[in-house]
Structure 1
Amino acid sequence: MTTRTNSAREIVAEISAGRTNAVETAKAALGRIEAAKPLNAVVTIDPARTLADAAAVDDRLRMGEIMPLAGVPVIVKDNIWVGGWRVTQGSRLFADFIAPRDAIAVERLRKAGAVVVGIGATSEFACKGVTTSQLYGPTRHPLDPALTPGGSSGGPTAAVAAGLVPLAIGTDAGGSSRRPPAHVGVAGFKPSYGAIPYGPGFAEPFFGLSVIAPIASDAADIVLAFEAMAGTDPRDPESAVVVQQAKDIGSQRIAFSPRLGLDVAIDDVVANGLAAAVERLSTAGLHITRRDPVWPSGATEDAIMPLQHADLAALHGDRFRKDPTVFDPDIAKQIERGLSWSGVDVAAALLASTAIANAFAAFFTEVDLLLAPTVPCVAWPLTQLGPDMIGGKPASPRAHAVFTPFVNHARLPAISIPCGTDRRGLPFGLQIIAARGQDRSLLAAAQEIEAILRSA
């Protein structure tokens, strides 16, 4: 189930020119959401609130206000506060929670004229690589309902891929808004840490890692969302100004790393598709060298996972001890593991995280852009945490996620854009990574790379 809806840019142009309005655009989006219920991408709607917000946008337009996202319908992930809306983190613990105010990012989207039309599904606490929860059940892949779109931003991502909305907002602490876009054939952007203010909102189980992440059909729409949300805010002491202007892609030093310098499995169709895409980019005139980051000894996702487990245990361990059955069983296992980690274990994970960040920082003193896989495989059955096999080898439940978490620990910007499909038409993605703060150069490069790949 995939349909094309107008891009955010097209919607803004149509509404600003008076050829349609925000109310009619919101009604159309609500109709598409209703028709796509079996997808289970959108878990909460509030039509009266949505249409009132859209009417307010139309009033602002009549008063002469210019808004860069005028009337654009947006889905927001179910762990980001949208004032007055039910926002649950996909957890039965928060089944009746009503957000008391907007997150700063949502506040800025509304100011830019966007209209929230629904809340997109997430796994519980955004802590799984598939999108399913005891509260709402599984979100399905738009191309094959027997498959998962991945996670944890599967709901917002599937909503964009299915044409329900042109723009969605997720979060990304380890790849949650890059891997699902790669699996369904859209674009997902993880900004530099702090580039978009985070919160106010729920206590975060990914200390110092998670970012607000726009998802759209292409990088140009992501630019619109990023520019609306980016910039420091005193309510978030971790927020930072991204001051760099975009560099021309022709002046940038570009590297390609087929496995991100990691000893991990990747399916042949993905590896060959990435190599073919890089060859097309080279033929188009981009100068690309083959180069891998050099990681410290013992740099694996296992080395840094104690941070997630310990954070979950700190937030929810007391409730887990009282009744573990209230949690998704997979999340319960993470909390139980977190309760077992010692302070030394957590400190070791922090040291590993720092070493990974330092390795990436050194790499980007000699390279401007890094091309790498987003995922090592295409989507897998809905009932599994991951595929059984990757690259012809038995795969662990997290083997599908190997190419994204280090970027979060280094706090770098990265985007996944569509790169190819397997023989069944299931997509995979090209990940483009840049140095921290170089978000605009990365997004400009992504638009040019998209154009080259689409023209091939």
Structure 2
Amino acid sequence: MRATEIASAVTARRTTAMEMAEQALARIAASDLNAVVTTDPRRTRADAEAVDRRVTSGETLPLAGVPVVVKDNIWAAGWRITQGSRLFADFVAPEDAIAIARLRRAGAVIVGIGATSEFACKGVTTSLLYGPTRHPLDPRLTPGGSSGGPAAAVAAGLVPLAIGTDAGGSSRRPPAHVGVVGFKPSYGAIPYGPGFAEPFWRISVIAPIAADVADARLAFEVMAGADPRDPDSFDLRSTAAGTPLRLAFSPRLGLDVAVDDEVSAGLQQAVDRLRASGLAIVDKDPIWPADLAEDAVMPLQHAGLAALYGEAFRSDPAQFDPDIAKQIERGLGLSGSDVGRALEASTRIARAFAAFFTEIDVLLAPTVPCVAWPFTQLGPSEIGGKPATPRAHAVFTPFANHAGVPAISIPCGRNSQGLPFGLQLITARGHDRLLLDVAANAECVLAGLI
């Protein structure tokens, strides 16, 4: 059952939050994906019982009884939240993040905590604390990262809804790899925190992951809206579509990067089908400043990690995932001017996207250039027949974070081995509801391809 269906059934008292929670707990217990790393059945049952009492008393709850998995870097009061790190192995969140409190008020029931890579800083969901999370369609593969646990939990049918974070594509790429929907809202559309200090300055967002756009939208509407505790949060205005809506397709997002042939062909087929449905889609690339690539902004992540965990790393490097340790080491070696140049690159990305969205309403592009790869590797060894660097799988998602704009990944096809990939839709900051409208329409048109 989808989240919308569960909420309707619980509200109509055709089922109960307790029954939905018990079923989700049973599915999680039977799963060997390592998608959900912490459960607390006693707490979950108490929360479900409270939701049933609220429904019986006549409350209207948009997420009544919907089982939810929360990523292991978002505070949920009373739950062990570790960031996938040995440093926080025994940490219990003292309060809810604002978004989680809003989910609870809407009737959602947390049934588990979803795996993340350490500090959400890696494109494969594995950690020294919990080990690897596996792909629902092939246990030898990764669902990607860092929200691999939440994405795999939804794709495997353990829960209808999960909440991740996205600072560079962490809640778009894993959904694309496992065949579900991942929505990165505008920066500030959903309040961030209270929670852990962030190594990502002003780019990370709370992101719903669901089986379809309607469920992602339901969760978003519950969590969205300004809160005085987050000075970057704001209230969205409804944004009506232009007449006609201006859409563009960029097969490589204007970047000189490799894409697997089957992914490229599948994306083109999806766009052709959208055009055949009546959408006027032009071919148009964003124009980026010369020599601008993700490498230009990666120092921000490394510097952030070093600022937060450099001293702990110096004291005991063995506490850290070796891949994260390398990032911290890089961060410790950066100069102030290195960080300044990375901040300037981030600003240039935002300005380039802003200019593009004066001419186009919605941009269609790949979410990922490849399908899932073995979980023992940071990335595929090659993409598009060319040797691939460890971050080559992530090329199409980070720019949206640095621009603060909303982006959503929807399933749009599978390769010859049956592995999914996604179509990414992007629009201007604050136009989240317009983007969700377009994505819902595209989802219906593309249903036959997935």
**Letter in structure 1 aligned against 2:438:** A
CA RMSD of aligned residues (A): 0.8
Matched, 1:147 2:165: no
Give the 3-state SS of the residue equivalent to 2:412 in structure 1: strand
Q: Indicate the residue corresponding to 2:150 in structure 1.
A: 156
Q: Indicate the residue corresponding to 1:355 in structure 2.
A: 348
1:455: how far off? 4.4
Cα pair distance change 1:145/1:455, threshold 3 Å: closer
Give the 3-state SS of the residue equivalent to 1:39 in structure 2: coil
Unpaired stretches in structure 2, ≥5 consecutive residues: none
Conserved in 2, the CA contact under 8 Å of 1:89 and 1:125?
Answer: yes
**Letter in structure 1 aligned against 2:162:** A
Aligned residues: 449
Mapped partners of 1:413, 1:339: distance in 2: 32
Which among 101, 112, 118 is matched to residue 107 of structure 1? 101
Give the 3-state SS of the residue equivalent to 2:411 in structure 1: strand
1:355: how far off? 0.4
Which among 162, 176, 185 is matched to residue 170 of structure 2? 176
Mapped partners of 2:391, 2:151: distance in 1: 20
1:244: how far off? 2.5
Mapped partners of 1:211, 1:419: distance in 2: 24
Q: Indicate the residue corresponding to 1:204 in structure 2.
A: 198
* Correspondence list, 1:380-399, <5 A: 380-399=373-392
Mapped partners of 2:2, 2:240: distance in 1: 23
Mapped partners of 1:125, 1:190: distance in 2: 18
* Correspondence list, 1:103-142, <5 A: 103-142=97-136
Mapped partners of 1:355, 1:20: distance in 2: 52
Give the 3-state SS of the residue equivalent to 2:446 in structure 1: helix
Q: Indicate the residue corresponding to 1:7 in structure 2.
A: 2
1:246: how far off? 4.5
Which among 52, 72, 88 is matched to residue 82 of structure 2? 88
Which among 51, 57, 68 is matched to residue 62 of structure 2? 68
1:247: how far off? 2.5
Cα pair distance change 1:414/1:164, threshold 3 Å: same
Mapped partners of 2:85, 2:115: distance in 1: 11
Q: Indicate the residue corresponding to 2:291 in structure 1.
A: 298
Q: Indicate the residue corresponding to 2:369 in structure 1.
A: 376
Mapped partners of 1:234, 1:8: distance in 2: 29
Which among 411, 424, 429 is matched to residue 431 of structure 1? 424
Matched, 1:191 2:185: yes
Which among 254, 270, 281 is matched to residue 277 of structure 1? 270
**Letter in structure 2 aligned against 1:221:** D
TM-score by length of 2: 0.99
Mapped partners of 1:251, 1:216: distance in 2: 29
Give the 3-state SS of the residue equivalent to 2:297 in structure 1: helix
Matched, 1:20 2:20: no
Give the 3-state SS of the residue equivalent to 1:199 in structure 2: coil
Mapped partners of 2:307, 2:43: distance in 1: 35
Mapped partners of 2:305, 2:448: distance in 1: 45
Matched, 1:224 2:208: no
Unpaired stretches in structure 1, ≥5 consecutive residues: 1-5
1:87: how far off? 0.2
Mapped partners of 1:247, 1:73: distance in 2: 33
Superposition misfits of 4+ residues, deviation over 3 angstroms: none
Range 331-340 or range 234-243, more displaced: 234-243
Mapped partners of 1:322, 1:28: distance in 2: 44
Conserved in 2, the CA contact under 8 Å of 1:192 and 1:412?
Answer: yes
Q: Indicate the residue corresponding to 1:3 in structure 2.
A: none
Q: What are the superposed Cα offsets for residues 288-330 of structure 1, whole Å, 9 maximum, x if unpaired?
A: 0000000001211111000000000000000111111110000
Q: Indicate the residue corresponding to 2:28 in structure 1.
A: 33
Which among 211, 219, 229 is matched to residue 235 of structure 1? 229
Mapped partners of 2:27, 2:268: distance in 1: 37
1:129: how far off? 0.2
Question: How high is the sequence identity, in percent, across the aligned residues?
Answer: 72
Conserved in 2, the CA contact under 8 Å of 1:246 and 1:442?
Answer: no
Q: Indicate the residue corresponding to 2:250 in structure 1.
A: 257
